[in-house]
Structure 1
Amino acid sequence: MPALTPIEFTGQHAVEGYGPGFFRVAGRVFRSAVVIEADRVTPWDGLDQIAPLEALAGRVDVLFLGMGAGVDIPPRDLIAHLDALGLRVEAMASATAARTYNVTLSEGRRVACALLPL
């Protein structure tokens, strides 16, 4: 399991680790897709379940969308819909999204990540 940058996250939900089929966040292991914010972690059914992503509008400035092991392009209509809600989306591989989320969270920014399994 890759180790992530050792940053102190007092009272915040950071991605502590990941591997095939799991993410470890705030001491808990999730064996599904997951949406992570500084103060909450939500199990997620993936791209077909947009309500958890819509709920981020107004709460975060950017969503790092982890597309799994590779860099797949998310559906255009999903990105357009979230953009219309004022939510900026950056799509990348889930491992990259987890690391980028952690670094950006440590800077005190309002961010979230939605991660599909590796």
Structure 2
Amino acid sequence: MVERPETPFLPRQVSIDGYSDRFFHFAGMSHAGSITALPSGVRPWRPERFADLGADDLAVIVAEGGAVELLLIGTGRDPAHLKEPLKQVLRDAGIRFELMPTPAAASTYNVLLDEGRRVGAALIAV
């Protein structure tokens, strides 16, 4: 059994209601800093900037197993590229992924979640 690195704020998947400078809003709550929104729930996420992202930060996502078909990675304000070792971690777990600025990732996540897709989001705060 894989341990989940952070206790979820909310132990279910919900849409992202909005975001503001350094904050995400969801289910009547808000959080300063980055988050993951996964089938197991919404939880804080360590990276403050995309450049801080490491393989250990992907553990909570990989722990979801087959529950996530597509992961949307919000890169902050600007587009970015994932380093090959991090891509391989996700590929080895069978997780497809798309990178885009966080506002676009949050919006796309909401649309796909509303469609009933097995989607997750890892969002760097803007």
Q: What's 2:58 paired with?
A: 50
Q: What's 1:21 paired with?
A: 22
Unmatched tracts of structure 2, length 5 or more: 1-11, 48-52
Instruction: Check the 8 A contact 1:38/1:105 in 2, yes or no.
Output: no
Q: What's 2:121 paired with?
A: 113
Give every structure 1 segment of 4 or more consecutive aligned residues whose post-TM-superposition deviation is greater than 4 Å: none
Give the share of equivalent positions with the same residue, in percent.
35
TM-score by length of 1: 0.85
CA distance in 1, matches of 2:97, 2:38: 14
Q: How far off its partner does 1:52 sit?
A: 1.1
Unmatched tracts of structure 1, length 5 or more: 1-10
TM-score by length of 2: 0.79
**Structure having the larger proportion of residues in strand:** 1
1:94 aligns with 2:102: yes
Instruction: Check the 8 A contact 1:67/1:74 in 2, yes or no.
Output: no
Q: CA RMSD in A?
A: 1.4
Q: How far off its partner does 1:39 sit?
A: 5.1
Using the TM superposition, name which of 80-89 and 39-48 deviates more: 39-48
Instruction: Check the 8 A contact 1:66/1:92 in 2, yes or no.
Output: yes
